[in-house]
Structure 1
Amino acid sequence: MAGMSYTILVADDEPAIRTMLEVILSADGHRVVAAADGKAALEYLRDHTPDAMLLDVQMPHMDGFEICSRVKRIKRLRDTPVLLLTGFDDDHTRDQAKLVGADDIVYKPLSGKNLRGRVNQLVEARRR
């Protein structure tokens, strides 16, 4: 549904990917908060509750799986949709994503249209 504006936390250690995600998601009017690593993402989450999170699986200090598993243990954040970003389309990655409670996996290279649709779908489902 157009017109809804969400705050989306994007955590990725690649500046080019952060920028691309920001461009894709802000085109729908969403506010994107970018974090360069897992530590920065958790610092933001200490005081904020975004509408959704996009977490890169592979980051220095703390990977997307670890952030997701921590987020899902925090009552205030538990229902926030988490999409994991990864270049690995394999069983291990899917199993790990399920284990930590991720809501969806988005594979790189990213399709902007696909990503926007999945983010909107997950957030709207939570709001009903």
Structure 2
Amino acid sequence: MTTLAVTHRRPAHTTPDDTHQRHHKHAKAEGRRTMSHIVAADDDPGIRRVVERVLTRAGHTVDLCSDGHELISEVRSQHPDAVVTDNEMPGITGLQARAELLTTPDTADIPVVMATGSVTPEQAAETLQNGDRIVHKPFQPSELRDAVQDVLIHRRPRQA
């Protein structure tokens, strides 16, 4: 199996927000519509860039977070269509963030893709919901893209 290394080079004068806006404008200019809004969290900036690149190229709008606390805050304020998160992050883990999101009806139905190498099947069974997915690191870009597409297709109906 060949491992794909994705590198992301951004001109020194741009910020991550500039890059995000440029990807979004490219999608519109090329006639692609933005498919879904995703909030993604990982404490590794390189992984965040890969996740952003893969999902933006798939037509999604992506907001990035660097830890579990920021993830919870963003999800509660943004109400995205899906979440992609690592597990091992400073503060609280991705599983702890998922458990916290399950306590609020507004966020309980948002599907999660856990992109991690540290979650056991037992841990996943305790917190992840039917329809959530795990993508094991290191992952191929297509694995992440397909997992996000799958949780969006099988998304649980929003609770009233």
Whether contact under 8 Å (2:94, 2:114) holds in the other structure is yes
Residue 13 of structure 1 is matched in structure 2 by: 43
Residue 120 of structure 1 is matched in structure 2 by: 149
Instruction: Work out which of the two has the higher radius of gyration on C-alpha atoms and give 1 or 2.
Output: 2
TM-score (norm 1): 0.88
Whether contact under 8 Å (1:55, 1:64) holds in the other structure is yes
Distance 1:72 1:127 in 2: 13
AA aligned to 2:146 is: G
| Cα RMSD after superposing both structures | 1.8
- Map 1:42-57 onto structure 2 (within 5 A): 42-57=72-87
- Residue-by-residue CA offset, 1:86-106 (whole Å, 9 max, x unaligned): 123xxx622111211241111
Residue 139 of structure 2 is matched in structure 1 by: 110
The structure 1 segments of at least 4 consecutive aligned residues displaced by more than 3 Å after TM superposition are none
Unaligned stretches of 5+ in structure 2? 1-31
Residue 95 of structure 1 is matched in structure 2 by: 122
Whether contact under 8 Å (1:49, 1:77) holds in the other structure is yes
TM-score (norm 2): 0.72
Higher mean C-alpha displacement, 93-102 vs 30-39: 93-102
| Partner secondary structure for residue 13 of structure 1 | coil
Q: Which structure features the higher share of strand residues?
A: 1
C-alpha displacement at 1:46, in angstroms?
2.5
Q: How many residues align?
A: 124
Whether contact under 8 Å (1:72, 1:101) holds in the other structure is no
**Do structure 1's residue 59 and structure 2's residue 89 form an aligned pair?**
yes
Q: Between the two proteins, what is the percent identity of the paired residues?
A: 32
| Partner secondary structure for residue 76 of structure 1 | helix
**Do structure 1's residue 32 and structure 2's residue 59 form an aligned pair?**
no
- Residue-by-residue CA offset, 1:98-121 (whole Å, 9 max, x unaligned): 211241111011111121111111
Unaligned stretches of 5+ in structure 1? none
